[in-house]
Copies of this chain bind each other. A is one copy, B any other.
Amino acid sequence: MRTLSSDSAELTEEYGIRIGRWAQYAEAASLPFGAMWCMVGPGSSSVQDCHPEMELAVVVSGQAAFEVEGAGTTVAPTGTAVLLDPQERHVIHNRSEAEPLTVLSLYWLPAPVADDSAPRERS
């Protein structure tokens, strides 16, 4: 068993917030997804993010407000999971003036699917 905590993670400044990439853990290579801790200070926001991966964002401390382009803003208290589709442009806000916000973000490229709309050979 291995215990992982944002408290002891090495952090970098990315996306306008502090990021703890799980690539720092040897065990990360055996996961079927990438992962990072996302730490948003009180009154702060990430920059807008958009990527080809699906993302599962789990709020593990504080309260997040996920602003998704074209879909408004959703408040997500601690314990909420948010599933973002590929290419959904999103910003994470921490609207609290006192409490830090930590989100565990998991992401992976979606499996390719058969495209029934593609032109077919004539029979």
- How far, in Å, is A79 (CB) from chain B's closest CB? 4
Within 8 Å by CB of A30, from B2, B76, B110, lies: B110
Contact A79 B4 (CB under 8 A): no
Contact A83 B4 (CB under 8 A): yes
Contact A32 B108 (CB under 8 A): yes
Question: Is A60 among interface residues, defined by CB-CB distance under 8 A?
Answer: yes
What range describes how many residues of A lie at the interface?
35 or more
Closest chain B residue, CB of each to CB of A76: B3
- How far, in Å, is A42 (CB) from chain B's closest CB? 16
| 6 cross-chain CB contacts under 8 A | A1-B84, A1-B85, A3-B74, A3-B80, A3-B81, A3-B83
